[in-house]
Structure formats: structure tokens, C-alpha cells
Amino acid sequence: MTRRGFLVRSGLAVAVPIFVPAGALGRNGIVAPSERITLGAIGCGNRGLYDLGHFLHEPDVQCLAVCDCWQSRRQKGKGIVDDHHGNSNCKTHRFHEELLASEEIDAVLIATGDRWHAVMSILASRAGKDVYCEKPFCMTISEGRKLVETTQRFGTIWQCGTQRRSNSSYRFVADTVRKGAIGKLHTITMSFGGWGANGIARPEPVPAGFDYDRWLGQAPWVPYSPVRVQHWRQHWDTGAGPIADMGPHFIDTAQWAHDSEYSSAVEYEGQAEFPAGGFANVPSVINVQACYSDGVVIRMNSGNKGVRFDGDQGWIHVDDFGNITPKSMLRDLSVSGVSYHYMAGHVRNFLDCVRSRRQSVSGPEISHRSHTIAHCANLCLRLGRKLRWDPEGERFVNDDDANRMLARTMRTPWGL
Amino acid sequence: MMPTACSPGQCELPGAYEARQTLIMERNMNSRNMCRNLTVSVLLVALVSCAAFGESFTQSQIKEVLSDFGSYDYGKDPTLTHVIDKIVQFIGDKPRLRLSTEKQMVTLLESKVASRATKQFVCQQLWIIGSDESIPVLGRMLLDTETAEMACYALCSNPSSEVDRVLRYALDRVPDESKVCIINVLGDREDVASVDSLIGLIGAESPQVAQAVAKALGKIGGDKATETVKKARPTTSGDMRAVLTEAYLNCAEGYVDSKQPGKAFAIYTKLLDESESVLTRRAALVGALHTGDTRAADLLIATMQQDESILRSVAIANSAVLKGTDVTRRLITEFKTAAAPTQAQLIEALVQRDDPLVKDVVKAAARSKDASVRVAAYNALAEIGDTSTVALLCDALEKAVTSTEVDAVLSSLRRVEGEQISEAILDTISNASSPADTQLIQVISSRGYTPAVHRLLQLCRSEDIPVAKAALRAIGILASYQTMTRLLDVLAELQDRAVQSQALRATAAVINRSDSDREDIAQLIQERLGSTEDITVRCSLLQLLSAVPNEVSLRFLNAASEDSNLSVRDAAIRTLAEYPDPAAMDALLRVFLTSGNRAYRAVALRGCVRLLKAEGTSPEQSVRLYQQLAAHASTAAEKKLILSGLAIVQHSEALGIAQDLMSEDAVKTEAALALITIAHNTAALDPVRAGAAARLILEDLSHSTLHTQARTVIETIGGFVSIFDGRSFAGWEGNVAKTWRVEDGAITAGSLEGQAPRNEFLATTSEYEDFDLRLKFKITGNSRVNAGVQFRTERIPNHHEVSGYQADIGPGVDGHLYDESRRRRMLATPEAETLKKAQAAAGDDGWQTYRICAEGDHIRLWLNGVKTVDYVEKDTNISRTGIIALQIHGGMQAVIAYKDIEIRELPAPQ
């Protein structure tokens, strides 16, 4: 993967807005602007249905189809959609290709396992669909770059499910740091929570109504096991690990506050504990120190979820629920600092962008850059050594092993 | 449970996968039925246990690990895979160890007996560390469909050119099934030498192979590949066509990368043909504009003249990539004849060009007949505006009709940078008419232009009330201590009440910002108070005193609170009520206790309570003052106000005040609420009185929220302690090596795959006699479910069983009291109706609760909050103390989890 995107090449790192009337993409301009945005939902598990609920809550959304490799889940998804629209029109698909081939669909929601996010996002963009995709959106840095290039090429809107971008508390914290209210920023500390161990993945017959082959996707073939299917996040084959799981949220806030959304940290060093004995092979406890080129340090650990910024004149912390400390930071400012409903604003922003054709608040490039930090940290832990990253060339400096891990081969027939 | 018949679910799998799945299942079953041949040596156990701490390995240790790994398979203990992960880390910077390890890995890959799982895992390591050493064996593995994919995984990132050779060799010799992966890797490696072979496969019958070839050719690029893609495209449709189109676009990108923009541009031009889909044309347009080819500018302009609005928009949005004033000129020419929507888009694009030519165009656009063009122009002026455009914007503000336009102008005026801009805006104010004036004053204040204060001080005397008020608001934001004298002059001059109060707020705001000069300001205000007879002015000045609290200010207020003039008295009392210093308390108390005026009493009382709520008063002082206030409160409203403050006093004496007020019906609820809040806050300080208060609530009132709170207080006092930390087995003992584990914060045992071999118990290391125990449990799976919670139990020496009471869990025994290994019978069986109720009360998340209360001979069980057993032990020989232990029953094929285990030890009953 040596090809660089034209925007990077031409020095336009920031996505250029493209003014195209909504609904025109991939449909040869058939749509009236007042029409609802038609949605297809891929992935009807817990998170998928949670996201879908928020989409359906928006009055200008019409969900036309759902897709899942579990028969029962796609049926459940259809039930929710049909109940909402008061009809029985929602189509169900086992294969996302069918859903993406539907000319009626403007936008897709992708809330599958990690390994599918980039593959499906890219396929959807190629089909001219706009995409709301859960995080982590890529398994490797090369997947991330490819997604950025594809959305740029086809001018599709793509939003990462990093809904804290649309949360007033997180916005407040980022603004506060940017304005210099804590003085000169020197350290960012983020905690992702600890991950446990689990049992041994013993092979079992594939249950009825489950397309295991689809479920696996790009991951190397291994026999079905309930432990694997339940705990897929905890294996590098199927998930991107704890840093890439919560990192996209908190790293995104860090990039935002540090005003480096189009770059990444350049040095990574750390240790991890890996759970012994069980199926899991991603770290359970992590401790990584990354460093930006200006010397600002990012510390990542497994404490209670949240992110804290330390400057030479103060600090500010926001937890997973949007609670801000210290309270003195909130004085005279119009932010409640208490928990708030994350999703609505984020989904709304995506839908507005589908209409205005401007790239969303969690667009491809900035999401790719924050995911890059997570993946660099991952590779630093997997290789057990300090890594140096060149955010311009998007390669590790003097580490061939790490550079090999920028991409990996996908199982047939999947590929980018 | 052997997978013999083809169930519907399995039929969803492609045949090959199903066959492989079944094969592995069978092999796994066999290996499990045999005595599991775990050759993990003591050495390895030691290695694993230190796996977390960056250990080191010798060559012979590595050899032993890898040789043991030969017997690994799916479903076996994966410990060795974790060790190998560590080995790969360790050998990273040790070339000799890398090579010897790789050789060991090669041996495993060549082994006839090593499982697929072993080889697959090894390939995943070679992805990271593989060198030339492993290429020959991987090359052979490519030829076997069973191992081709894992070999691709190992080879894909290996930089050796030998990799490309073995891939090409295999490509010509493997069936379609293996080709796709090999082609993908060749494509990702951009292997030019494979183009000839790939070209031969572009027409492959298998669509998967053909599409993979197309993709690979696109990634590799070059004349040959491009020519093939170009030729293949017209004859295809559907997916293949889409893949070829993208490949063609990629070929073009390849030409740009290799500095042949002309060739790239030719491809894009071809894809811009009207016969192509809009999606393709858009992508081609974006690509073409970014080629750097000299014809790109012509294309940009030509596209703008096209009918297709999407392409026009795309062209405009990407126009910034074409630099130079010549392009700017051409865009401006287009602008002049373009339709309104295009003009609006063009303005945004033009502004990005950073070209001085653009300004005049934007200025003209600000006078466009079309509102969307005007709005775009206003937004643009925020970026490129100067003093000469201020008048234009101010003019636009007056003429604007829609709120969108007004907002755009105001936002632009706020954002244009430069001090002169602020001055220019300020200049406009005198000339414009009223509505715009107030808006412009707001703009000035949000620009933070402090030199405007002088002018604002004139404007605040305007007869136009909105303007005067806006000016005062701005003064409040911009002015500093230096303007205080003049502000006080203004305050003395103003006639309109609304303007006066705005002036007062502005003055207070300025004082609040002038921390260091507060004493000077105090003196200033006090001097004026001493010299002014005008009642209105006196009142205003008195009100300002709360912003400058000191002894003198308080003396003024005290005196004024008894002034003969009603207005002055009123102002003083109200100011005292808002006075920030507790020193005002005496004065307020005096007013409250002595004034006959009900309104004054209310104001004074509110002030007292506010001061008491603020920090700085000790709980003892607070209690004393509240006693005094309560004694003199006459109306219900007053009492409610007192209770609202009393509730947060952290002193148990406060309970008495609230309790007294509970006897009055009019304030009974408020008093109870205060009482329970105080009890909650003082539970730790004085548990006896807090408990008594909580019990009083339970007895005296029938308010469900208050009852809940009261029970919480009683529980807090009761002192439940957690005996499981959610992470470790600290305080517990049992077979934690095999049976018990901590998962997701719960003590967990059992699996869905196999039966529990025998009864196992995880027991507390402490014994408990009389207690109230609460815990949650959850069962996943439904095969032979049986578990339970032992209490007053003992372990049977040298045996896995225990003996004692058990709160049973399982179908048919839920909520029962059983005597385990002792009398071996149910001691108490709940009614069917009760059980049904208990089961219905279970949470939706699968977690159920047990409460076990053992007091003397009295034993009670609650399942999901429903009492199922109320039992009295008649046999005095039965032990009344013992461990608590969690059970998994032998034969159970399900998962049992316990968590949130809390206990409150009870004093022995009298």
C-alpha cells in the first residue's frame, strides 16, 4: 500500500466540501430534496439496534432494509423498523452486497464486528452510499487510509460513530483546552477500562440460522465456537483490541483539543498485560505513552473511562458520561457538565451532512488519524517495543516489522 | 451432539467450510476424549506466569515451546500461543534468534502431523518476522488449497522479491479457490512481473477470480495493465464493470504517481464520457482536476458550463487545487454568467483562492438579487472583508429581510478581523437607524472592542431606549474600573427605570470584574452616597454596595434599612438579602425578628437562609440560627423556606428542628423531606439519631419516595460490606485453577460446551454467624442447571463437597432451602404461587437476586425480592456459624455467575 491519496499529495489535507443535492448520489439525480433519507442498516446486534433506534427517531429517515448474518437478528431488526413505520416493507438481507446494490438506499448504518467496518464502508462508498459507521472503523492503518481515499474519490459522506464529537461536554472540554484555559497543554491522559480473560474457544457445530462464514468476514478461517463469537473483540483476528475500541472516542477528543486532527502522535512506548490461558489475545491491561511532535504526551491506561488534559495552569477531565471536573471550570459557562444523550446530535449531524454534502464532524480523515494513534499503540504493544511514526508518509520509522503490520491479507473473497 | 445431520443453519455454510468444520469437530472430540496430552512442562508454566513482565527466552526454551506447539489444535488450551506471541516480541531485535525461531516454525509447517491450527498460527507470526528462510515452505503451501490462504497471510508483507516469485509460480498452478487470495496479495504488492499472468485471467470464468484480477491490475497499473482494464470494461456489466471502473481510476492514479499526468488525464477524460454513470464521472472529474495536467483548468471551466449540476458542484468544490490567478480570472468570468446556486458555491470556492481579485466579485455579490448568493457573499466577507466592506455589511443589515440574512451579516461582522473594522462599525452606528444600531452594538461587544466604551457612554444616554440598553449591556462587558466615575454619573442622570436597572447591572458587572480595585470603588460609591440627596440615586447606590462588601458598606446598609423613606428602606433590605458576606446576618435577623412588614420579613428570611446555605457558617452556628428563625417563623411559606436550608445542615441537632416542624400539617411533607435528607447526611456522624429519624419517617408517613430514602438511610447505617471485589478471589478459596473464574466482574463457573465434572464450591475464608446476605446470580444455558449458595456451612476435610444450609438455585429448586451433605433433604419448600411471583420478578438482564437472612434459629430467603422461605431451625445441634460458599453442581452444562455479594453481620438476637 504505497499509493497516497490525491488530497494528501496535493497538500489539501482537509476534505473539500462538495455541494451536491441530497439523494443524487449513485441514483443519477432522481430525488426531490424534501424526500426522506432512505437508510439500510447492516448489523442488527445490540449496538446496531441502538443506533438504528436513534436513526428512526429522526423524522426524515426511512429505513428500507436491514442486514445481518444471524437470521433472528435481521428479523428482530425488521420488526423494529416495521413497527416504527407502521408497515411491513423493510427488506431483510443476509448479504450486505444485496443491500448495497439497492438503488433506493441513500445511506447505510454499519454496526457490525470491527473486521467488517472498513470493508463494508468502502463497498458502500463505491456504490455511492453515505455511511454512518461504528468505531473502530478499521482493523489496520491501511484499511483506514483506503477508506479516506474512497470517500474522497466518490464524494460520499462518511461519519464515524464517535458520538462524543457531538456531545456538549466533550466539545466544551476540547474548546476549553484549545482556548488555553488550562495554560499550555502538556499531558493528555485517557483511560479505556480493563478487559478480562475468557475461556477456551472449543469448536462446536454452527447454530441454525447463523451464517458463520459471513460473520468471520476477512478474518482467517477458524472453526465456530460460541466463545469466539461472544468475545470476538478480544482476539486480533476479529477485533481491534481495547485501545481501538474506546480510543477512537478519547483520542478523537485529544486530537480535537490538541488541534492535531489531521496528524498523529509520533512516538509510542508502553507495556501491557495479556490475559493468560484463554481465548483472548488482546491486552487486558494497557499502559502506553505516546508523544506528539510538539512534545505533548498522551498517556493511555486501563483506568475508569475518560480523558484528562493537564496544562501548566490547570487541568480538566471528562468521564465516559460527560461529567466534567473540576466544577470550577464550568463556572460562568453555559455547559451543564452532566451526562447528556450522546447519540441524537451525532446522528443528526450525519443526516444534515447527507443533505448539505459537507463532510461530517467525524469525517474520514480525522477519524483515520485518531484510529492511527490507536493502531500505532496496538502495534507498539504487540511488538513490545518503542515505535516512531511518520504522520506525513504514514510509515513507521526504522521498523520493518511494524510496517509489515500496516496491512494484512483478507480471507477470500474479501479484499480492498 | 456430533454434527451429523445437516441442520438448516449448517446448510447456510458453503460446502467446503462445512466439511472442514465437521472434520475439525471430530478431531477435536477425539482428542478431548483421550486423556489430554498436555505436554506443557514445568518450565513453560513458569514462562507463562511471568508472561506479563517482559521476560526473556533462550534458544533452547524457544525450541521446546515450538516443539510442544506441534500438538496444538483448535479448542485446546491456547497458552502456548500466548507464549509464542511473547517470543516473537522478544526476538524482534535479535537476528540470530529470529532465524533459529523461523527455522523451528518452518519445521512445524513442514510437519505431517501438526494441525491446521498450529500452521495457521505460525503463519500469522511469519507475517511479522518471516524472512527468505520460510518462503520455500510457504510457496509449497500455496499449492495446497487447505493451506494457500494462511501462506498468503504469512507472505503478504514480506519484502523479499522471492515472495512475488513463489506467488506467481503458484498462480499458474492452483485451482480458482486459491487464486483469489494470491491475486489479491500480488496486487497489494504491486508486482509488475505478474501482469502477464494476471492478464490471462481477466476473462476467468469465476467472477471472483476475474474481479480480483481487475482489482490487482488497477493497483499495479502501468501501460499493459491499463490497456487490459480499458479493453475489458466495455464488454462487462454489473459488479465486474464497477470493479473494472475502479481499477481504471486506480490506473490513472498510478500514472499521476509516476509523473505521467497526461496519461492519467486521458483515462479520466474517457471516464467523463456522458455514457458513464454520474458516480463514475464524478470520481473521474475529481481525479482529473488533481492530475496537475495543464488541461485541468480547461476541464474545470468546461464542466462549469455543463448542464449536469452535480458535476458543476464537484468541479467548484475541487477548484482550489488549480492554483494561479489565471484560473481565478476564468472562474470570475464564469461567475458572472452563472445561475444563482452556482454563484453561491463559487463564492465559497473563490474565497479559498486567497487572490485579491476576488474581493470585488464578492462585494458585488453582496448586492445580488438572489438571497442565497448574498448570504454566501456575507459569509465570504468574514474571511476577506476589510474596512471598505463594513459599510456594505451594515447597509445589508438594514435591508435584510430574513433571519438567515441577518444572522449571516452579523456573524460576518463579528468574524472580520482587525481593530479598524471595529472602529468602522462603531462609526456606522450614529448614521444608521435604531434596530440595526442595537445589533451593531452587540457586535462591538462580542468583538471585545474596549475602546468603544467612550462612545458607548454617549449612546447609553440616547433617547432610543433599546439603543441605550444595548449600550449599557456592552459597557457591562467591555468597561473597566477606570470608567467607574463616569458610570456613576450616568446612573445619576438616567430617568427611564428600565435603563436605570440596566445601568445598575452594567455597573455591578464592571465592579465584579475589577477585583483589585474593589476598595477604591467602594469608597467612590460611599462618597456619593454621603453627598447625594436624590432618592432614586441613593437607592441605586445602595444596591451597588452588595458588590463592594466592607464594613462601611454594611454600615450604610444598616442605617438605610431603618431610613424614614420607604424606597430607601426597601432598597437597603433587598440589598442586604443579597449581600455576599455573612456579616449581613445580624441585620437580616433583626429585620426578620422585628419588622412588621411581611414582605420585608420574607426578603430578610430569604437572605438569612441564603447566607446560611453558603459556605462559611459552621454547622453548630447554623443550627443555632435556624432554631431562632424557626421559633419566629409564622407562616407556612416561611417555615418551608427555613426547611429548605435546614435540610443541608450537617448536624444531628438539625433533626430536632425538622422533627418539630413535622407536627405541623401545612409543612409536614417538607419537614419530612428535610428530616430524611439531614438523616442521610448525618448517618455517619450520628447513626443512632439518623436511624431514629428514618424510622420515624417509616412509621409516621406513607410517602413512597420518602420511605425508600428512609430505608436507604437505615441500610447505610446497617453497614453492608461487599465480600467480593469484582476482580479477584481475595477472601475466597476453592478450585480457582480449573472451576472458578472471574468474568465481567462476576464469579463464574461452568460452560455451555461441557458438563461440570463434579460439585465444586467457592468458599469465603471467613465464617459468618448471624447476617443478612445479598447477592446476584445469573444462569446462561439450560442444561442440567443446578447451583446454590451455602451458608453456616463447613468444608468436608479432604473432599470437594461441603456440608450445611443451601439456598438452592435451579429449575424446581429455586428459592428452596436445602441441607447439603448433612440431612440431604429440602428443609423448606415455597408455595408454587410464591415461586411464580419470585421468578416473574427477575430482572430483564438475566440477573436474579438472593437475600439470605440468618438470625439465631430464624432463616429467611428472598428470591428476587419475594420471600420464599421463612424457616425456624428446631434442631439445636445444627451449627449456627460457618462459611458462605457458592456452588456449581456436577453435571451442569451451563454457566453460573455470582456478583454484588454483600453482607451485613447482625448482632446475635437477645
- Per residue in B106-132, pLDDT (tens digit) is 999 999 999 999 999 999 999 999 999
**A72: closest chain B residue by CA:** B9
Separation between Cα atoms, residue B887 and residue B813, nearest integer Å: 14
Residue B25 has a pLDDT of: 53
For an interface test with B, the pick among A2, A6, A74, A227 (most B C-beta atoms closer than 10 Å) comes out as A6
- How far is the CA of A249 from the CAs of A91, A252, A301, A319, A362, in angstroms? 32, 5, 14, 11, 10
Distance between CA B254 and CA B198 in Å, rounded? 18
Find out whether B138 and B151 touch, Cβ atoms under 8 Å. Answer: yes
**Three cell numbers, residue B20:** 472442514
Q: Which candidate from A25, A200, A382 shows the least CB-CB separation from B75?
A: A200
pLDDT tens track for B443-468: 998 888 889 999 999 999 888 899 99
Q: Tell me if B184 sits within 8 A of B216, measured CB to CB.
A: yes
Q: Do B278 and A277 touch (CB under 8 A)?
A: no
Q: Supply the mean pLDDT for chain B.
A: 88
Residues 6 or more apart in contact with residue B81 via CB below 8 angstroms? A281, B69, B72, B121
pLDDT above 50: residue B10: no
Q: What b/e string do you get for A255-268 counting C-beta neighbours within 10 Å, with b at 16 or more? A: bbbbebbebbbbbb
Q: Please give the grid coordinates belonging to residue B511.
A: 465592579
Q: Determine contact, residues B753/A202, Cβ cutoff 8 Å.
A: yes
Compute the count of residue pairs across chains A and B with CB atoms less than 8 Å apart: 235
Gap between the Cα atoms of B95 and B64, Å rounded:
19
Residue A168 pLDDT > 70 = yes
What number of other Cβ atoms are within 10 A of residue A236's Cβ?
18
pLDDT digits (tens, 9 = 90+) for B737-766: 889 999 988 999 998 888 888 899 999 988
- Are B834 and B816 in contact, with CB atoms under 8 Å apart? no
Contact state of A276 with B345 under an 8 Å Cβ cutoff? no
First and final C-alpha spacing in chain B: 58
Residues sharing a CB contact under 8 Å with residue B789, sequence separation 6 or more, in sequence order: B773, B775, B777, B806, B807, B809, B850, B852, B884, B885, B886, B887, B898
- Out of B120, B249, B743, the one facing A196 most closely (by C-beta) is B743
B279 vs A357: CB contact, 8 Å cut-off? no
Across the interface, do A6 and B741 touch by the CB < 8 Å criterion? no
How close is the nearest chain A Cα to the Cα of B291, in Å?
A: 8
Residue A69: closest CA among chain B residues belongs to which residue?
B12
Chain A environment of B13 (Cβ under 8 Å): 206, 211-213
Q: If you average pLDDT over residues A148-153, what whole number do you get?
A: 93
- Asked whether the predicted pLDDT for residue B42 surpasses 90, the reply is no
Summarize pLDDT for B335-367 with one digit per residue, the tens: 999 998 889 989 989 998 989 999 999 999 999
CA closest to B117 among chain A residues: A222
Distance from CA of B190 to the nearest CA of A (A): 8
The pLDDT assigned to B140 comes to: 98
B777: closest CA of chain A, how far (Å): 18
Q: Which residues, in sequence order, are CB contacts of B11 under 8 Å at separation 6+?
A: B18
Q: Is the pLDDT at B47 greater than 80, yes or no?
A: no
Average pLDDT of span A265-276: 92
Measured in whole angstroms, the distance separating CA B478 from the mean position of its chain's CA atoms is 38
Out of A139-153, A302-316, B695-709, which region has the weakest mean confidence (pLDDT)? Answer: B695-709
Q: Which residues on chain B are in Cβ contact (under 8 Å) with A72?
A: none
pLDDT given for residue A342 in this prediction? 56
CB contact under 8 A, B310 and A400: no
Is the Cβ–Cβ distance between A294 and A312 less than 8 Å?
A: no
pLDDT value at B16 more than 70: no
**B348, B320 contact by CB (below 8 A):** no
- Chain B residues whose CB is inside 8 A of the A396 CB are none
A71 to chain B: closest CA residue: B9
Q: Pick the more confident residue, B45 or A407.
A: A407
| pLDDT on residue B710 | 82
| Cell numbers standing for residue A395 | 510509515
Tell me the pLDDT tens digit for each residue of A312-369. 989 999 998 888 888 777 654 433 333 344 566 899 999 988 888 888 899 999 999 9
Is B25 in contact with A2 (Cβ distance < 8 A)?
no
Nearest to A58 by CA among A39, A42, A44, A75: A39
- A409: chain B residues, CB-CB within 8 Å: 127, 149, 152-153, 156, 181, 184-185, 188
Range name among A162-176, B163-177, B677-691, B812-826 with the lowest pLDDT average: B677-691
Shortest Cα distance, chain A CAs vs residue B790, angstroms: 26
pLDDT for position B909:
60
A415 to B157: CB separation less than 8 angstroms, yes or no: no
pTM above 0.90, yes or no: no
Do B278 and A28 count as a contact with CB atoms less than 8 A apart?
A: yes
At A101-130, the pLDDT tens digits run 999 999 999 999 999 999 999 999 999 999
For B323-327, B403-407, B691-695, B846-850, which range has the lowest pLDDT when averaged over its residues?
B691-695
Q: Residues B41, B42, B47, B49: is their CA dihedral positive or negative?
A: positive
Confidence of residue B851 (pLDDT cuts 50, 70, 90): very high
Of the partner residues A18, A154, A226, the one whose CB lies closest to the CB of residue B752: A226
Whether A401 has its CB under 8 Å from any CB of chain B: the answer is yes
Rounded distance, CA B412 to CA B183, Å? Answer: 55
| Reported confidence tier of residue B49, pLDDT bands at 50, 70, 90 | very low
Residue whose C-alpha is closest to residue B846's, from B744, B753, B711: B744
Is pLDDT at B150 greater than 90 in this prediction?
A: yes
- Count of CA atoms in the C-beta half-sphere (13 A) of B662: 19
Q: What is the pLDDT of residue B22?
A: 55
Q: How does strand B732-733 pair with strand B760-764? A: antiparallel
Of B728, B726, B723, nearest in space to B771 by CA: B723
pLDDT band for A54, please (50, 70, 90 cuts). Answer: very high
DSSP-derived letter for residue B632 is H
A197-215 tens-digit pLDDT: 778 999 999 999 999 999 9
Residue B601 has pLDDT above 60, yes or no: yes
pLDDT at B749: 94
In whole angstroms, give the CA distance from residue B764 to residue B767. Answer: 7
Share of chain B above pLDDT 90, in %: 60
Chain B neighbors of A21, CB-CB under 8 A? 309-310
User: How buried is A297 (Cβ within 10 angstroms: 0-12 exposed, 13-18 middle, 19+ buried)?
Assistant: middle
